[in-house]
Structures are given as C-alpha cells and as structure tokens.
Amino acid sequence: HPRFRAAYDFLLLREQSGEDLGGLGDWWTKFQDADENDQQALLKQASSHRKKSRKPRNRAQKPRHQTD
C-alpha cells in the first residue's frame, strides 16, 4: 500500500537522522519480511512491551457557588 510504504520510508529516514524511535524501523522491517506465524509472534512481543496507558487525570472541578 502506497501510504504504508511512505510512512515506513519516513520512519526509516527519521531513524537514520538520529532520532531514537526504540528500534521501531527495525521491527517493521522484520515484520514485513516475516511469514504469518512470525508476524503473530512479533505482534505478541510488541504488545507485551507496550507502555501501560495511564488513567486520564481528573480535571480540577470549578468551585460551586453557594446559594443561601
């Protein structure tokens, strides 16, 4: 798919320019070259390394006006 290829190429360029992306370009290269079973293993491995999402922070509530 052309959009995937463009994003993949841009990802590799970012890594080559020195941006630390945690090996994401290498992972996608391996994923593309892998057979279906290896792709499933790579997906499982990646999901176990994902950062846990944080709960959304409660916004400070505006003080209520007292009506007497």
Q: How far is CA 39 from CA 8, 19, 25, 64, 65, in A?
A: 16, 25, 15, 54, 58
Is-contact 60 50, C-beta < 8 A? Answer: no
Q: How many domains does the chain have?
A: 1
Confidence at residue 19, expressed as pLDDT on a 0 to 100 scale: 94
Q: Is residue 64 part of a domain?
A: no
- 68/34: higher pLDDT: 34
pLDDT per position as a tens digit, 7-65? 999 999 999 999 999 999 999 999 999 999 999 999 998 888 766 555 666 666 666 77
Token pair of 48 as six digits: 């176990």
Domain, as residue range, for 6: 2-43
Helix extents (H) in the chain: 2-16, 24-33, 36-48
Q: Is residue 58 part of a domain?
A: no
Q: Is residue 61 part of a domain?
A: no
Confidence at residue 48, expressed as pLDDT on a 0 to 100 scale: 81
